Amino acid sequence: MGKRYFGTDGIRGLANGDTLTPELALKVGQAAGTHFLNGGHRHRVLIGKDTRLSGYMLEQALTAGFTSVGMDVVQVGPMPTPAVAMLTREMRADLGVMISASHNPFHDNGIKLFGPDGYKLSDADEAAIEALIGGAIPLARDQAIGRARRIDDARGRYIHAVKASFPEGARLDGLKVALDCANGAAYRVAPEALWELGAELVTLGVEPNGLNINEGCGSTHPEKLAEKVRASGADIGIALDGDADRLILVDEAGRIVDGDQILALIAGSLAAAGRLRGGAVVATVMSNLGLERHLAGLGLALLRTPVGDRHVLAEMRARGCNLGGEQSGHMILADHATTGDGLVAALQVLAVLVADGRPASEVLHLFDPVPQLLRNVRADPRVLEAAPVRAAIVAAERALHGHGRLLVRKSGTEPLIRVMAEADDEALVTRTVEEVCEAVRSAA
């Protein structure tokens, strides 16, 4: 049976909409707290958030839920998702919560849960929490009710951990970096970390007001960063998303560099140093065929998973790999983090840039992408079961057979059907994608 609340990345929706309300957040806190109440110790949950206006509301509702079942709450305020994962484990918390809708607009929000090991919850844990949400939950009594406190040094702890991923003794002196924090969770920690390492900074997206997160900025809108790089003469541009688990780069000429090129660079660097485990890189079905061919030239495999960083991480753990990511910019470096971390990934790229001495335009463009086209059609996922849509997909796959590949899937975060094709023949790619999209639109 499918889950009612949890999607591919926690619970997400329109704040104060049909689903994501303070009432639900309260129940999630009670249910998740009850699920993780085991053992005789004093139980603790750590809660972080990004900069959305609705974060205040959801933070307090979750806090009420957790304390009502006897769990103490530690609030760390605006912090990147990977920081919450790291701090959950470091502070010996039983549970971690990140309030964020990642790259979505401000009016959306979400609840991501991490276990005591800093990893996102399993499907079994999420199913157990959902079952508790729908039932009667026993509340704590008298002195067993939890307490809440906010800590002030969380930012410094995360910055220290991020800097520890950078080569010991290396510095960024002489490097001019344009940094776009998407008016999101990393608006303070990312500039501070890069400044402490010696970089000269030009910043964008560091003035959140609760409403401007991801608005025309960040990893989903890197065009403004590209302009800033060219205008300021920066050596490289770094764009994070709202919760800072994604990374997109811009070279000194203003060209945008996606996650596939970043994966290629980090994979080559780790392999050359003998530190790439598993002989492979894990990516999703969305990664470009050009990346697969490039890695094969290095003697490395590309292992593909369904879309979603949790699938990437699960495959990494199963195969013993320490590098994985998505074309969209999620980068997981298992030696340093338990989830995607845009800032840690950026530092690995900057380390190569400093050591190599060549401009970013040469270092970051390691392969020519195979022509790839992605189109989104707003439609109910059930449209994929319509006979005309199935027929269009079969026809497109037949046309691409032996030349490329087709991927048609429903979005895990929005009511969209995503249609992607890639092949060496760009005209063929365009034609097959448009034919499938038209079938979806007609059926919808």
Residue 201 bridge partners (DSSP): 177
Residues 102, 269, 287, 328: which is the catalytic one?
A: 102
SS (H, E, C) the chain: CCCCCCEECEEEEECCCCCCCHHHHHHHHHHHHHHCCCCCCCCEEEEEECCCCHHHHHHHHHHHHHHHCCCEEEEEEECCHHHHHHHHHHCCCCEEEEECCCCCCCCEEEEEEECCCCCECCHHHHHHHHHHHCCCCCCCCHHHCCCEEECCCHHHHHHHHHHHCCCCCCCCCCCEEEEECCCCCCCCHHHHHHHHCCCEEEEECCCCCCCCCCCCCCCCCCHHHHHHHHHHCCCEEEEECCCCCEEEEEECCCCEECHHHHHHHHHHHHHHCCCCCCCEEEEECCCCHHHHHHHHHCCCEEEEECCCHHHHHHHHHHHCCCEEECCCCEEEECCCCCCCCHHHHHHHHHHHHHHHCCCHHHHCCCCCCCCEEEEEEECCHHHHHCHHHHHHHHHHHHHHCCCEEEEEEECCCCCEEEEEEEECCHHHHHHHHHHHHHHHHHHC
Q: Is 102 designated active site?
A: yes
8 Å CB contact between 312 and 333:
no
8 Å CB contact between 430 and 372:
no
Which residue numbers are catalytic? Answer: 102
